[in-house]
Amino acid sequence: MSTKIFLYDTTLRDGAQSEDVNLSATDKVRIARQLDYLGMDYIEGGWPGANPVETEFFNAMRGVGLRNAKLAAFGSTHHPSHTPETDPTLTALISSGARVAAVFGKSCPRHVEVALGISRERNLEIIGNSISFLKKNMEEAFFDAEHFFDGFKRDQEYALAVLRTAWEHGADCLVLCDTNGGTMPEEISSIIRTVRERLPHALLGIHAHNDCELAVANSLAAVNSGAIQVQGTVNGIGERCGNANLCSVIPNLQVKMKGFSCLSGASLTRLKSTAAFVSEVSNLAPFRRQPFVGNAAFAHKGGVHVSAIMKEAALYEHIDPSLVGNAQRVLMTEQGGRSNILSLSRTLGFELEKGDPLLDVLSAAVKKNAALGYDYVAAPASAELLFLRHMPDNALKPYFNILRTVVLTSRHEMDPDMMVEASLKLDVHGNVEHTAAGGFGPVHALDRALRRALTRWYPELEQMHLIDYKVRVLSPTRTNIPEAEDENGTGSNVRVLIESSDGVATWTTVGVSYNIIEASLEALADAVTYKLYKTEQARWRAEC
Ligand SMILES: CC(=O)SCCNC(=O)CCNC(=O)[C@H](O)C(C)(C)COP(=O)(O)OP(=O)(O)OC[C@H]1O[C@@H](n2cnc3c(N)ncnc32)[C@H](O)[C@@H]1OP(=O)(O)O
Ligand SMILES: CC(=O)C(=O)O
């Protein structure tokens, strides 16, 4: 029999307190639906009435039928100048439409004295009255004991009196908060053990902040010591350094720790997509190195690692990535060996075997290009083309050959707009195509000239467009170490990464040169070649 641990998600409340997260009511509704689909037990939607977004969100949620989760509304205990019945926060919680209320109250005497400026007794009275009032009007009422661990260390008896008051007035769960995130896991364990001795019947939860990078460890320590509710956020977003990252807490509880359950196996496989969804809607770049759900979590770069995982994945993977909806990735870089090439060749559908001399050729080509600055991890389409170009049966047709490139940019003092023009001479199946095009900048002009020359031959290129363009100077040009000042400066090699799309697929290609135009053209030519190759493959598959 495993102990059910209740997941209380506060992405929409504490997560929204991250300095770089600004969610609209629509964003919040979309995230709430996804959290419900994942299987959270509680979704804390926000602080009703605190601002128009919260009001709009709670109104919108009245029309959303959550299948798994209960919606919770958050606020403080009533203000000292009010009674529960007249307090705007408590009345807004009740009229929010949420089924559950979670209110925070002070459990550290210093906060009572300084932040609230009231007596310790009055604080206990406010907590008791607030919880009784909420219990009468809501399905469940949770008490968040703010600064509990700091309060316990300052005055154990007072911190325990706060918990006892909330419990005796009907709180359904006492959530012990490490609000400043400064508590160590062993302190969490020993303090919770004492709480359980003193309040043996109380149900406990944990709300840990990540200021010492210990929020997940502290949450797990709390569960091991008897907490049955874990609060946290998707991707660990939250005030200051964030909250306990539920994307780590959940698989640790479900897969690693014995005797606990929180999400069923099928739901667990939605974890990675949920993390990606929340990043996307919050407009945050996904955290590549995030355990379990990050893109790098099961990515293998070192040749020794890849050689081993091809024999048995578990040799360098702590769990099966598919359990959390993630997947193994093998990277093609200068740190790889023949095993990386072999693994990738199989992913791309090439029938290479261990010992094939082509593996040496490809491995040497990858190492040489990587040393020049080609990044095949960021540009998988160019990696695939590199493979194809080395295949003995000429797997990649010469769709076109660039014979000459001219790019002109000029500016006249009487004309504020820079004139930019690119002309290209290409060989397409023995025909010479000569085109010129203008553009906002040299890459835009090159892109237009290239596609103008080729669309007569390959109409599918009309669907294709460039969606991102990144340039990186490969040798550092500035440093605060004077003797390390780079001599090349603007003469350094640059890497250009181009992301293209045809409305269905997106792909990234790379070019490297000391000349930014040449690097851009290389990446552009790869982008076009890749589109032509994929179209041909699709046609071929359809015909078969
Ligand atoms: C640990 C946490 O993360 S708690 C959650 C923190 N999140 C937020 O604060 C986000 C939402 N907050 C808000 O939009 C605003 O702060 C509001 C609407 C709640 C209140 O706004 P205002 O009325 O302008 O008050 P303001 O923000 O300046 O100060 C907070 C008030 O709450 C009081 N307060 C703080 N904790 C508590 C508590 N546990 N119980 C009762 N009152 C409390 C403070 O003493 C202060 O009142 P005071 O000015 O009379 O001393
Ligand atoms: C309640 C809460 O968010 C905290 O104490 O950190």
Task: ipTM value, please give it.
Answer: 0.96
Tell me which ligand sits closest to the C-alpha of residue 90.
1
Alpha-carbon distance of 334 to 303, in angstroms, equals 9
Query: Dihedral through CA 258, CA 262, CA 265, CA 271, nearest 10?
Result: -120
478 falls in which pLDDT band (50, 70, 90)?
very low
State the angle between helix axes of 357-372 and 338-347 in degrees (0 to 180), rounded to the nearest 10.
100
Residue 483 confidence (pLDDT) above 60: no
> What are the CA-CA distances from residue 182 to residues 109, 121, 166, 179, 244 (Å)?
17, 27, 24, 8, 13
Residue of 10, 12, 13, 14 with the most ligand 2 atoms within 8 Å of its CB, for mutation: 14
> What are the CA-CA distances from residue 123 to residues 109, 163, 174, 178, 382 (Å)?
9, 12, 16, 19, 65
Ligand 2 centroid, distance to 208 Cα (angstroms): 8
Reduced to 3 states, what is the DSSP secondary structure of residue 351?
Answer: coil
- Among residues of the chain, what percentage have pLDDT more than 90? 89
479 falls in which pLDDT band (50, 70, 90)?
very low
Ligand 2 centroid, distance to 251 Cα (angstroms): 23
Which atom of ligand 1 is the closest one to the Cα of 177?
A: 1
DSSP state of 254: I
Residue 482 confidence (pLDDT) above 70: no
Q: Does 79 contact ligand 1 (Cβ within 6 A)?
A: yes
Alpha-carbon distance of 70 to 52, in angstroms, equals 22
Task: Name the pTM for this structure.
Answer: 0.89
Look at strands 329-330 and 299-300 and give their pairing. Answer: parallel
Intra-chain end-to-end CA distance of the chain, in Å: 53
Tell me which ligand sits closest to the C-alpha of residue 78.
1
Query: 530 near 509, Cβ under 8 Å?
Result: yes
Residues 6 or more apart from 97 whose CB is under 8 A from it?
A: 58, 59, 61, 62, 71
Taking alpha carbons only, the member of 113, 207, 108 closest to residue 154 is: 108
Burial class (CB in 10 A: 0-12, 13-18, 19+), 259: exposed
**Mean pLDDT over residues 470-488, rounded?**
62
Which atom of ligand 2 is the closest one to the Cα of 238?
A: 3
Q: Does 238 contact ligand 1 (Cβ within 6 A)?
A: no
Which atom of ligand 2 is the closest one to the Cα of 148?
A: 5
* Strands of the sheet with 465-473, listed across from one edge: 465-473, 494-501, 506-513
Alpha-carbon distance of 206 to 176, in angstroms, equals 5
Tokens, residue 363? 């491995």
| Residue range 332-361, pLDDT digits in tens | 899 999 999 999 888 888 888 999 999 999
Which atom of ligand 1 is the closest one to the Cα of 115?
A: 45
Q: Does 530 contact ligand 1 (Cβ within 6 A)?
A: no
Look at strands 140-146 and 506-513 and give their pairing. Answer: unpaired
| Residue range 107-129, pLDDT digits in tens | 999 999 999 999 999 999 999 99
**Mean pLDDT over residues 261-286, rounded?**
95
Residue 230 confidence (pLDDT) above 80: yes
The gap from C-alpha 165 to its chain's centroid, in whole angstroms, comes to 40
Residue 379 CB coordination number (10 Å): 27
Tell me which residues have their CB closer than 6 angstroms to ligand 2.
14, 104, 144, 146, 177, 179, 207, 209
- Among residues of the chain, what percentage have pLDDT more than 70? 97
Alpha-carbon distance of 384 to 380, in angstroms, equals 6
Residue 406 β-bridge partners: 423
Alpha-carbon distance of 537 to 544, in angstroms, equals 11
Q: Does 49 contact ligand 1 (Cβ within 6 A)?
A: no
DSSP state of 233: B
Tell me which ligand sits closest to the C-alpha of residue 129.
1
The whole-number pLDDT of residue 265 equals 79
Tell me which ligand sits closest to the C-alpha of residue 16.
1
Query: Dihedral through CA 432, CA 437, CA 441, CA 447, nearest 10?
Result: -50
For 429-465, the DSSP string reads: TTEEEEEEEE-SSHHHHHHHHHHHHHTTT-GGGGG-E
Residue of 116, 131, 179, 180 with the most ligand 1 atoms within 8 Å of its CB, for mutation: 116
The whole-number pLDDT of residue 391 equals 86
Residue 20 confidence (pLDDT) above 90: yes
Q: Length of the chain, please?
A: 544
Residues 6 or more apart from 448 whose CB is under 8 A from it?
A: 422, 437, 438, 439
| Phi, psi angles (nearest 5°) of residue 458 | -130, 85
Higher pLDDT, 195 or 396: 195
Residue 491 confidence (pLDDT) above 80: no
The whole-number pLDDT of residue 477 equals 44
Least confident of 7-11, 28-32, 56-60, 412-416: 412-416
Tell me which ligand sits closest to the C-alpha of residue 125.
1
Burial class (CB in 10 A: 0-12, 13-18, 19+), 262: buried
Residue of 9, 11, 111, 209 with the most ligand 2 atoms within 8 Å of its CB, for mutation: 209
For 47-110, the DSSP string reads: -TTSSHHHHHHHHHHTT---SSPEEEEEEESPPTTS-GGG-HHHHHHHTT--SEEEEEEE-SHH
Could you write out the three-class secondary structure of 404-425? EEEEEEEEECCEEEEEEEEEEE
Residue 462 confidence (pLDDT) above 60: yes
Least confident of 153-167, 217-231, 318-332, 488-502: 488-502
| Residue range 371-426, pLDDT digits in tens | 999 999 999 999 999 999 998 777 788 999 999 999 998 877 777 777 899 999 99
Ligand 2 centroid, distance to 77 Cα (angstroms): 13
The whole-number pLDDT of residue 392 equals 79
Residue of 150, 179, 230 with the most ligand 2 atoms within 8 Å of its CB, for mutation: 179
The whole-number pLDDT of residue 418 equals 76
Tokens, residue 277? 């969804």
The whole-number pLDDT of residue 488 equals 56
**For the chain, which domains are there?**
3-282 (3.20.20.70), 299-370 (no CATH), 401-543 (3.30.160.270)
Query: 443 near 524, Cβ under 8 Å?
Result: yes
Residue with the nearest Cα to atom 32 of ligand 1? 79
| Residue range 61-78, pLDDT digits in tens | 999 999 999 999 999 999
**Mean pLDDT over residues 237-259, rounded?**
97
The whole-number pLDDT of residue 489 equals 60
The whole-number pLDDT of residue 350 equals 84
Residue type, 243: N
Residue 140 β-bridge partners: 100
